[in-house]
Amino acid sequence: MGSFDPRLKEVWIVCHGYGQLAGRFLSRFTPLERDDRLFIAPEAMSRYYVASAGAVHGPDSPVGASWMTREDRDAEIEDQINYLDLLYAEVFTHIERDAVRLWVLGFSQGVATVTRWLARGKVTADRVVIWAGMIPPELEASGGRMLCARAPVTIVTGSSDEFLTPKVVASQEAKLRELAISYTRIGFDGGHDISASALLELAVTDA
């Protein structure tokens, strides 16, 4: 990792959802590209062929990645926290941490990943974005305090998200209140996806 432009003002660490790959996920942040922003998309460590059960895998079979499964769950969670801590340390070996604002964004399965990391890892964010995903059930009050120690929290949801139904969103907001985490909410017309308009709203809100 080389030196960075001294004009850099923001670093975004963005964690993809289940079945995605980091490169394609990173392309969704093109609407926010700016010379003073750096986007970093770590990729989950378990790749697999995204196909129906029993399908034959060929050279053109799509590949995705998963942050974890129920198999050896606790060890996988520890691995992902350590992995993201190492990434954080490497990035801020080259960038003065206090000179930039750090955004941490999780999408879908990436929400559980980043909230566990914020609660249990070595990272301290300046902004946290929970996008179309669920806070892990084991996160308790102490973890909630770590999550929002310095960072305003924003949840983002699509109006037609087939996974984040109004009932699920309401339960997540109740979980945030239980953890004494204050938050704002951005909604957009769309499904389980990264919305360019919602990204721009996030950036404008923070300006």
- pLDDT digit string (tens) for the chain, length 207 residues: 556 677 899 999 999 988 788 889 999 999 999 999 999 999 988 766 676 555 666 666 677 777 787 788 889 899 999 999 999 999 999 999 999 999 999 999 999 999 999 988 999 999 999 999 998 888 766 555 556 556 889 999 999 999 999 999 998 888 888 888 889 999 999 999 999 999 999 988 665
Helix axes 109-120, 73-94, angle to 10 degrees: 70
Q: Any bridge partners for residue 39, and if so which?
A: 12
Per-residue HEC secondary structure of 68-99 comes to CCCCCHHHHHHHHHHHHHHHHHHHHHHCCHHH
CATH 3.40.50.1820 fits 10-51+62-206, yes or no: yes
What are the two backbone dihedrals, phi and then psi, of residue 35, each rounded to the nearest 5 degrees? -60, -25
Going 170 to 171 to 176 to 178, the CA torsion angle's sign is positive
Domain ranges of the chain: 10-51+62-206
What pLDDT shows up at residue 135? 87
What letter would DSSP give residue 20?
Answer: B
| Nearest residue to 152 (alpha-carbon basis) of 192, 182, 187 | 182
Q: Which are the contacts of 98, defined by CB distance < 8 A and separation ≥ 6?
A: none
> Cα dist. 180→8, 55, 124, 141, 183 in Å?
33, 46, 18, 7, 10
What pLDDT shows up at residue 19? 79
Instruction: Please report the beta strands in the chain, taking only residues with DSSP state E, as ranges in sequence order.
Output: 10-15, 37-40, 46-49, 63-66, 101-107, 127-131, 153-158, 183-188
What pLDDT shows up at residue 138? 80
Q: Any bridge partners for residue 139, and if so which?
A: none
| Nearest residue to 112 (alpha-carbon basis) of 88, 137, 79, 82 | 137
What are the two backbone dihedrals, phi and then psi, of residue 187, each rounded to the nearest 5 degrees? -110, 155
What are the two backbone dihedrals, phi and then psi, of residue 18, each rounded to the nearest 5 degrees? -60, 130
